Amino acid sequence: MSQHVLITGANRGLGLEYVRQYLADDWQVTAACRQPEKAHDLNALAASASDRLTVQPLDVTDDRQIDNLRASVAATPVDVLINNAGIFGQTRGGFGATDYAAWQQAFQVNVMAVMRMMEVFADAVAASRHKTIVNMTSKMGSIADNGSGGMVVYRSTKAALNAATVSAAIDLKPRDIRVVALHPGWVRTDMGGPNALIDAAESVTGMRRVIAELTTAQSGAFLDYKGQTVPW
Ligand code: NDP
């Protein structure tokens, strides 16, 4: 039986590229996104690979939709769960102009939703061969790497996600599940912008290699798309 990957925020950017590459590699893919009816790229892929690609509705902040997704995946083990959906939160205004509502929303999406996905899908991951959870984080969540300040909303949510990732790695170790925080590089997507250094294909090619080669000893690590350790 082919392996199964579940990807959140799969309608554009890195999520969509993960879908493309895993499909090309003969995986079974569950692609979750907020508005499947508007996910034209995903639907085009489903039209050509419909037996291996399932598109499911998921706003990651909606607990009921997470439960429904779990029910629809049913008894199919999830080899790799990729918690990819994320938001930048606040794009303008530095110290003194913090947008607290945006901060709260970013915590919901970037941190709490990922924790809930891990809790709800842990059994399905434990039942698989690969037993891997990937949380898409950012080098901007590295406290050690913060030499320029600002962007407190995005930085703090990714730092919190990193903390949750390490705890989950420890908590899920007895079930043989590997959990990793993965930085994709600075990538040309809607979030990364046109000046970013690499394209989504290069980033996802690298991350898929890191995921495929992930060892039990690396569970709880903070790695980039080349497999290099990022300082906390
Ligand atoms: P994009 O902004 O291009 O795409 C974000 C994706 O997340 C979209 O599919 C979006 O869906 C989805 N999303 C946002 N909020 C929700 C929600 N509430 N429920 C479900 N889906 C949601 O970002 P990237 O592809 O660039 O980034 C993917 C991940 O990689 C993110 O976690 C990001 O933080 C991280 N990252 C990206 C970097 C880069 O340089 N691009 C660098 C470091 C980390 P919708 O279309 O419905 O809005």
- CB within 8 Å of 229: residues ≥ 6 apart: 221, 222, 223
Q: What pLDDT digit, counting tens, does each position of 71-106 carry? A: 999 889 999 999 999 999 998 999 999 999 999 999
The per-residue pLDDT for range 208-226, each reduced to its tens digit, is 999 999 999 999 999 999 9
pTM, to two decimals: 0.98
pLDDT, residue 174, reads 98
Residue 1's pLDDT is 63
For residue 212, what are the CA distances in angstroms to 14, 75, 205, 209?
A: 17, 23, 11, 5
* Strand bridging mode 80-83 / 132-136: parallel
Residues 6+ apart with CB under 8 A from 130: 3, 79, 80
SS3 223: strand
CA gap 43, 45 in Å, rounded:
5
- pLDDT tens readout for residues 163-212: 999 999 999 999 999 999 999 999 999 999 999 999 999 999 999 999 99
Question: Would the ipTM clear 0.95, i.e. be above it?
Answer: yes
Tell the residue nearest (CA) to atom 29 of ligand 1: 84
- Decide: 107 in ligand 1 pocket, CB within 6 A: no
DSSP SS3 for 43: helix
Cβ 182 vs Cβ 210: under 8 Å: yes
pLDDT digits (tens, 9 = 90+) for 97-156: 999 999 999 999 999 999 999 999 999 999 999 999 999 999 999 999 999 999 999 999
Q: Is the CB of 161 under 6 A from ligand 1?
A: no
Distance 110 CA to ligand 1 centre (A): 9
Q: Is 112 in the pocket of ligand 1 (CB under 6 A)?
A: no
59 in ligand 1 pocket by Cβ < 6 Å?
yes
Q: What is the 8-class DSSP label of residue 112?
A: I
- From the list 58, 26, 65, the residue with the least C-alpha distance to 39 is 58
H or E segment to which residue 6 belongs: strand 4-8
Nearest to 217 by CA among 183, 175, 181, 173: 173
Q: Which of 127, 139, 135, 223 is nearest to 179 (CA)?
A: 135
**Rounded to an integer, what distance in angstroms lies between the CA atom of residue 5 and that of residue 189?**
21
User: For residue 150, how many C-alpha atoms fall within 13 Å in the half-sphere facing its CB?
Assistant: 7
pLDDT value at 50 more than 90: no
Q: Tell me the pLDDT of the chain averaged across its residues.
A: 97
CB 133 within 8 A of CB 81: yes
Nearest CA to ligand 1 atom 36: 138
Atom of ligand 1 nearest to the CA of 11: 9
Contacts of 53 (CB under 8 A, 6+ apart): 19, 23, 29, 31, 42, 45, 46
3-state secondary structure of 196: coil
The pLDDT value given to residue 91: 87
